[in-house]
Each structure stands twice: as structure tokens, then as C-alpha cells.
Amino acid sequence: MELAQIKLKEKSKKQKMQMPHTLVIIAVIIAIVAVATYIIPGGAYETTVNESGKTVVVNGTFKYIQSQPQNIFNVLQAPIQGIVEGAEIIAFLFIVGGAFNVISKTKAIDFGILRVVEIFKGKEILVLPILIFMFSLGGATFGMSEESVAFIAILLPLILALGYDSIVAMCVTYLACNLGFSSAMLNPFTVGIGQSIAEVPLYSGVEYRTITWFITTLVGCAFVMIYAMKVKKNPKLSPVFESDQIKREKLKDIQSESAEFTTSHKIIVLSLFIGIGIIVYGVLKLGFWIPEIAGIFLAVGLVSGIVGKLAPNEMASAFTEGAKDMIGAAILIGFARSIMIIAQNANIIDTILFNLSNAIGHLPSLIAAYIMLPIQMFINFFVNSGSGQAALTMPILAPLGDLVGISRQLTVLIYQLGDGFSNAMFPTSGVLIACLGIAGIPYGKWLKWIIPLQIILFICSLGFITVATLIGWA
């Protein structure tokens, strides 16, 4: 009797400590921003189109304008607008989810994973640094970010089969891309646009940026590997242990089958690698973006279904099931975008930037540089597009940096660091929410896990800023 009461108390305690649903967290943030629209006055900078054809704000043109507080009816409409504005990445989720479910029905990836597990048996930990540095390099060179959504679907079963968890799968794909994207030496979407707006020679300072990228990736890799080894030793330490158990049961079913890696399986896996190769080439050389990438995965799914001898009805059902699994993530993306929409409709983003920039105008250069970092992070909460944030903040912070003795080269680096790392924890990042949706990780659990790493990366960023200031990097 006493034992039953203890168990009941433990169960009750767990229920009380349950992490709130991602949608609940986003709804609370929406409410806070909506209230802020009644407190923060409206304001706007004038904009112009620069030589690169990019619309940027004009420094020194800020003026207060009529406030547009967002009432309850405006707030209720914002998620609809968010879903409309996020339609491209939502459609991408549906296509990728459907295509990968067709591929998974053929069992080709499952049996292929078993072969990889056999090869790395006893040295599974080596897979992690290889993947992390590979994806980080993609983020640092050609701005790989959205592409990580598809790779999670590919690598999640492999990471689980190696004895790790869904969080590690999230880290070797999305987080690795984020590390590279944030500390990039050549990323055209941050370094390229930021330097062009700040009127800094394009891709100058690449040597110092390469050092920051390597240190950042090394720190992130070490953090993930330490966690991965703990989870492998004791899987119950994982925040997603229960949900991962369901996924592992499916893997056990595959392992219990006669795992014959047939010719058709090899063709399917080969077609997947060819598709990935086309995507990488297309992004680098042909300007591929979400529609093209989705089209390639759809083609791979179709080829896989045919080669795997699935009947047309089986392929259609599998595709529909896979797309259906993405509905939750799609809804979260729309609601997360509504946070930014409410702030934009109320005309408070420029007001916030104006007052934040004024706060550092009379500070010593190093202190001002330190404060610029959280300013960029704060703005990134509302404007999580790297190029969009550059267009908003660079015309203001670059000349402001001149006044307080911060080189424009360093201002661009601060923008990179502030824009990038925080995308891995802000619910307003559509790519983050999409990746968590595919990995099956609740946002609250991910946030709790990622905060210690965010603190470490923030300290590293301050170190990069300090060294750059001391050596007069310009």
C-alpha cells in the first residue's frame, strides 16, 4: 500500500513538473508582445535601395509615428498571416515528410543503417565529430540552414541505432549548421550582405573568422560529445528518453528481420545520395532554394517507391502519412511567425532598435561592443532572417560603431554572432521549429538542454570581440 502511494506521489510530481507544450510557450510570448504594443510607441526609419538592390534603413532618419496597438482581434488574425508567410517552409515540410515516409517504407535506409552500425561498432563516437564539422562547414561557406530539415529525417534513425538520442541527431545536423552559420567566414547571407551594407571589402577578415569558426565548432562538438557519451552510458538521462523508446522499438523490429541489403535497397540509397549531391551543387552553383530542394526530394521519393516495388496506393498512403506527421510543426511555424507580425504591424521594432542604439552611443568602445551583441540577439528574436536583420541593423550600428571606436569589420562579426547562435533557442526561428518537429523533440525540453551551450557560446563570443578589439582588427 505504501509503495503504491509513493508511486502515485512520484507520478503526480512528474505531472506537476511537466514542461509546457511548445504552442503554450509561443502563446505566452504572443500575449507579452501584444501587451507591449500598447506600451512602446510607434516609430520608423526611412528606407532606401542600396547598390546591391537590397532595401536598407537610412541611419539618422528615425521618427516617432502614430502607435498601432494590436487588439485581441488583430492578435487572433496574426497566426493566419504567419502560416501564409511561412507557406514556403511549411510546404517544404509536407513534401520532405511525405517523401521520406515513402523511402522508409522500402526499408532501404533501415538496412543501410544496420550496415553502418556494424562498421562503426565499438567506435560509434567517431561519427559525431565527422558529421558536426561537415555540417558546420556547410553553414560557414554556403549558408546551409534550411537544408538541415531534410538531413534530420535521414540521420535520426542512424543516430538512434548508434546508441544516442534524438537531441544528438538534432545537434549533428541543425545545431552543427547553426554553429557554422553563426561564426561563418564566407556565408553569403550574413558575411556577404553584412559587409556590403557596412561598406567593408567583401569577405575581408576571413582569417580571423576562420579561427572563430573552428573554435566555435570545436566547443560545440565537445559539448555534444560529452552529452552523447552520458546518454549512451545511461539512456534514461536523455530528456526525450520515453519518446525515443518508441522509435527504438521500430529499429528493433528491423534488426529482428532478415536484414538483407538487396540490389533495390542499394539503388534507393544511391538515388538518395545522388539527390543530396544535386542539392549541394544546385545551392552552390545554380541558386537552388526551398522549391528546388523539395522537388529533388519528391523525385527521390518517387524513384524509391518504384524501385522498392510499392504499389501506387501504398506510395500515396505513405506520402500522406508522412505529410500528416508534419502538421504540428507547420502550425507552430505559423504561430511563431505571428510574434514578428504583431511587432511589425504595431511599428515597434524600429523604436526598439533606435532606443537600444542610443543606449550605447556614449560608452567606451569595448563595453559598447559587448552590448551590441545582446542587442543583435534581441532584434533577432523578431527578425530571424540573417539578411533581413543585416538590412535593419547594419546601417545604424556600423556608423554608430565608428563614433565609439568599433571597426566596421567587428560590427559585422558581432551581427553574425548575435544573429546566428540565438536562432538555436528562439521559437520565432521557423527552421528550428521545423527541425524539432521532424526530430520529435518538444521545444521546452530542447530549450532547457540548449541554454547551457548558449551561455558557453555567448562567453566565447565575448572572447572573440575582446581579442578583435585588442588587436585592432579592421
- Rounded mean pLDDT of 349-363? 84
Q: Which of 377, 370, 399 is nearest to 468 (CA)?
A: 370
Query: What pLDDT score does 257 carry?
Result: 53
Q: Which residue has the higher pLDDT, 107 or 461?
A: 461
Q: Which residue has the higher pLDDT, 290 or 409?
A: 409
For residue 428, pLDDT over 90 is answered with: no
Q: How confident is the model at residue 15 (pLDDT cuts 50, 70, 90)?
A: very low
Is position 256 within any domain? yes
Neighbours of 70 (CB within 10 A): 23
Residue 185 has which C-alpha cell? 567566414
Instruction: Give the pLDDT confidence of 17-54 residue by residue, as tens digits.
Output: 566 787 888 899 899 999 999 999 999 988 888 776 66
Instruction: Give the pLDDT confidence of 384-405 residue by residue, as tens digits.
Output: 777 778 888 888 888 888 878 8
- Rounded mean pLDDT of 144-173? 87
For residue 214, pLDDT over 50 is answered with: yes
Q: Report CA 444 to chain centroid distance, whole Å.
A: 15
Query: What pLDDT score does 259 carry?
Result: 55
- Rounded mean pLDDT of 200-224? 92
Q: What angle do CA 53, 389, 366 make, to 5 degrees?
A: 120
Is position 135 within any domain? yes
- Rounded mean pLDDT of 121-142? 87
Is position 11 within any domain? no
Is position 16 within any domain? no
Q: Provide the mean pLDDT of the chain.
A: 85
From 2-11, 142-151, 455-464, the region with the lowest mean pLDDT: 2-11
* List of long-range contacts for 60-63, beta carbons under 8 Å, 24+ apart: 62/350, 62/354
- Can you give the residue range of the structural domain that contains 299? 22-470
Q: Which residue has the higher pLDDT, 276 or 264?
A: 264
For residue 433, pLDDT over 70 is answered with: yes
Query: What pLDDT score does 256 carry?
Result: 52
Query: What pLDDT score does 459 carry?
Result: 97
For residue 470, pLDDT over 50 is answered with: yes
Is position 8 within any domain? no
Distance CA 401, CA 394 (A): 10
Is position 10 within any domain? no
Q: How many domains does the chain have?
A: 1
- Rounded mean pLDDT of 343-363? 86
Q: How confident is the model at residue 246 (pLDDT cuts 50, 70, 90)?
A: confident
Q: Which residues contact 199 (CB under 8 A, 6 or more apart)?
A: 398, 408
pTM of the complete model beyond 0.85: no
- Rounded mean pLDDT of 316-341? 88
Distance CA 195, CA 188 (A): 10
Distance CA 162, CA 118 (A): 9
For residue 5, pLDDT over 80 is answered with: no
Is position 377 within any domain? yes
From 352-361, 373-382, 433-442, the region with the lowest mean pLDDT: 352-361
Taken in order 80, 81, 84, 90, is the CA torsion positive or negative?
negative
Is position 17 within any domain? no
Distance CA 322, CA 301 (A): 11
Instruction: Give the pLDDT confidence of 65-124 residue by residue, as tens digits.
Output: 988 999 999 999 999 998 998 888 888 889 988 888 898 888 787 777 667 777 777 788
> What's the half-sphere exposure (Cβ side, CA atoms, 13 Å) at 345?
19
Residue listed under C-alpha cell 500575449: 31
Instruction: Give the pLDDT confidence of 275-324 residue by residue, as tens digits.
Output: 878 877 887 688 777 788 889 889 999 999 999 889 999 999 999 998 89
Query: What pLDDT score does 6 carry?
Result: 41
- Rounded mean pLDDT of 216-221? 97
Q: What is the 3-state secondary structure (H, E, C) of the chain?
A: CHHHHHHHHHHHHHHHCCCCCHHHHHHHHHHHHHHHCCCCCCEECCEEECCCCCEEECCCCCEECCCCCCCHHHHHHHHHHHHHHCHHHHHHHHHHHHHHHHHHHCCHHHHHHHHHHHHCCCCHHHHHHHHHHHHHHHHHHHCCCCCHHHHHHHHHHHHHHCCCCHHHHHHHHHHHHHHHHHCCCCCHHHHHHHHHHCCCCCCCCHHHHHHHHHHHHHHHHHHHHHHHHHHHHCHHHCCCHHHHHHHHHHHHHHHHCCCCCCHHHHHHHHHHHHHHHHHHHHHHHHCCCHHHHHHHHHHHHHHHHHHCCCCHHHHHHHHHHHHHCCHHHHHHHHHHHHHHHHHHHCCCHHHHHHHHHHHCCCCCHHHHHHHHHHHHHHHHHHCCCHHHHHHHHHHHHHHHHHHHCCCHHHHHHHHHHHHHHHHHCCCCCHHHHHHHHHHCCCHHHHHHHHHHHHHHHHHHHHHHHHHHHHCCCC
Beta bridge partners of 289: none
Q: Report CA 374 to chain centroid distance, whole Å.
A: 18
For residue 201, pLDDT over 90 is answered with: no
- Rounded mean pLDDT of 368-383? 90
Q: How confident is the model at residue 251 (pLDDT cuts 50, 70, 90)?
A: low
